[in-house]
C-alpha cells in the first residue's frame, strides 16, 4: 500500500513539473510558434506577381513580367514537367532597361511566395532605428494585376538567415525566414541585370557545332548523332569526359561584371568562339563570342553583341590543346 502511495506521489510530482515546464514555454517562446500556420507571410502565388518595385534611398529599380515565356529546357534523365516561366525586364531610374536574370528572378519569386513570419512584436521605442525600418529601409512594392502591396524591408538578423519587415499601415515588426535584402541585391542596381551570355534557347542539346578560332590556331568540333567529333585540326572522336565539361562550362557562362573596357593588367587575346545551334527553324542560329583578354584566376573578358562581360571559365584553356580531347590521339598535334 505504501509503495502504491509513493508511486502516485512520484507521478504527481512529475506531472506538476511537466505542467510547469509547458507553462514556462508558453510564456517565454513566441506565440506564433504554437499558433502560427504554415501559410506564407504574403500569401501570394508566383504566377500572380506582375511587377516588383524596390527603392534603396534614391535608387529605384523596377522588375516587370513580360508577355513572352522562357524556353523550356527539360533536364536530362527526368520525366518531370518543367515549370512555365516568364521573361522579366529590369528598369532603372535613369531610363536604362535590361532583360532580367532568370536565375535571380526565380530565387526572388520563390522567396516572396514561401517566406514565413517566425514571430512578431510591436513597434515601440527605438525599434524602427534598431531594425533599419526608417529612412534606411528598402521600400518594396509588389503588384498583382491592379493590386499593390508595400512593405518596408529592414536589416538582416545577425543570428540567422532572416529579415525584419513591416507591412504598410501596420505597427508590428515581423522576423521572416530568409535574407530578403540579399535576394533584392543589397543595393546593387544592376543585380537583376541578365548575366547569361548565350541566348536562353542555346543549351547543350541544341548546339550542333563549336569552333575555337585564333589567327594561327583553329579547333572545330561538331555533333555527329549522339557523339561529338573533331573536324579540325585532326578528325577523330572526342572523349566525352574531356569535351563535355568544356561545353557545359561555356553554356553556363554568367557575367561576374559588365566592365566598360578590359582592365590594363589583363593579357590581350585574339580568339573567337563560334557556336551553331538548332532553333526550331530551317536555318540554324549562330553565336559569335569574341575573347578580348584574359585576367587572373580564370577570368576572361568576352564581347557579345557589343557588350563586354567578365566571366569565369575553368575549361576554356583546354581548347588550346585539342589533342587531349581526342578519344585515341596517336601523336601530339604540331603547332
Averaged over 138-161, what is the pLDDT? 87
**One domain for residues 149 and 227:** no
**One domain for residues 106 and 65:** yes
Range of the domain at 266: 207-325
Q: Per the domain annotation, does 246 fall within a domain?
A: yes
Q: What are residue 309's DSSP bridge partners? A: 302
Residue 57, CA atoms < 13 Å, CB-side half-sphere: 6
pLDDT, the chain, mean: 84
Rounded Cα distance between 250 and 326, Å, is 19
Of the two residues 68 and 99, the one the predictor is more confident about is 99
CA of residue 230 relative to chain centroid, distance:
34
Sign of the CA dihedral running 185, 187, 192, 194: negative
pLDDT band of 75, cuts 50, 70, 90: low
**One domain for residues 179 and 227:** no
What's the CA angle centered on 64, arms 63 and 67, to 5 degrees? 150
**One domain for residues 53 and 173:** yes
Rounded Cα distance between 219 and 232, Å, is 5
Contact 128, 121 (CB under 8 A): no
Q: Per the domain annotation, does 258 fall within a domain?
A: yes
Number of domains in the chain: 2
**One domain for residues 109 and 60:** yes
Of the two residues 281 and 275, the one the predictor is more confident about is 275
> What is the residue whose three cell numbers read 583553329?
218
Listed residues 148, 183, 218: the one ending a domain: 183
**One domain for residues 314 and 276:** yes
Sign of the CA dihedral running 305, 287, 103, 45: positive
Q: Per the domain annotation, does 161 fall within a domain?
A: yes
pLDDT band of 331, cuts 50, 70, 90: very low
> Which CATH number belongs to the domain containing residue 161 in this structure?
2.60.40
Q: Per the domain annotation, does 103 fall within a domain?
A: yes
- Digit-coded pLDDT (tens) for 177-187: 988 998 999 88
At 18 the three-state DSSP class reads: helix
Amino acid at each position: 500500500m505504501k509503495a502504491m502511495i509513493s508511486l502516485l506521489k512520484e507521478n504527481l510530482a512529475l506531472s506538476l513539473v511537466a505542467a510547469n515546464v509547458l507553462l514556462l514555454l508558453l510564456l517565454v517562446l513566441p506565440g506564433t510558434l504554437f499558433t502560427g500556420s504554415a501559410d506564407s507571410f504574403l500569401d501570394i502565388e508566383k504566377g500572380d506577381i506582375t511587377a516588383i518595385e524596390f527603392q534603396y534611398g534614391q535608387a529605384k529599380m523596377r522588375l516587370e513580367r513580360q508577355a513572352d515565356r522562357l524556353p523550356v529546357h527539360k533536364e536530362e534523365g527526368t520525366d518531370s514537367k518543367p515549370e512555365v516561366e516568364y521573361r522579366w525586364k529590369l528598369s532603372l531610374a535613369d531610363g536604362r532597361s535590361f532583360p532580367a536574370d532568370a536565375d535571380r528572378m526565380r530565387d526572388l519569386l520563390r522567396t516572396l511566395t514561401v517566406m514565413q513570419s517566425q514571430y512578431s512584436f510591436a513597434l515601440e521605442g527605438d525599434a524602427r532605428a534598431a531594425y533599419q525600418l526608417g529612412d534606411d529601409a528598402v521600400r518594396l512594392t509588389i503588384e498583382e494585376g491592379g493590386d499593390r502591396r508595400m512593405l518596408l524591408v529592414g536589416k538582416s538578423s545577425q543570428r540567422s538567415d532572416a529579415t525584419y519587415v513591416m507591412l504598410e499601415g501596420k505597427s508590428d515588426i515581423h522576423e521572416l525566414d530568409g535574407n530578403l535584402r540579399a535576394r533584392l541585391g543589397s543595393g546593387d542596381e544592376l543585380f537583376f541585370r541578365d548575366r547569361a551570355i548565350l541566348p536562353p534557347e542555346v543549351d547543350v542539346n541544341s548546339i550542333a557545332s563549336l569552333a575555337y578560332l585564333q589567327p594561327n590556331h583553329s579547333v572545330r568540333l561538331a555533333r555527329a548523332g549522339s557523339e561529338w567529333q573533331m573536324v579540325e585540326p585532326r578528325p577523330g572522336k572526342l572523349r566525352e569526359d574531356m569535351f563535355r565539361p568544356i561545353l557545359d562550362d561555356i553554356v553556363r557562362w554568367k557575367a561576374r561584371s559588365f566592365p566598360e573596357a578590359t582592365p590594363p593588367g589583363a593579357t590581350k587575346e585574339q580568339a573567337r568562339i563560334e557556336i551553331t545551334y538548332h532553333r526550331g527553324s530551317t536555318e540554324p542560329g549562330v553565336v559569335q563570342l569574341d575573347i578580348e583578354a584574359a585576367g587572373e584566376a580564370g577570368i576572361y573578358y568576352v564581347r557579345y553583341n557589343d557588350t563586354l562581360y567578365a566571366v569565369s571559365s575553368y575549361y576554356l584553356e583546354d581548347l588550346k590543346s585539342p589533342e587531349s580531347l581526342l578519344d585515341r590521339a596517336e601523336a601530339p598535334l604540331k603547332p
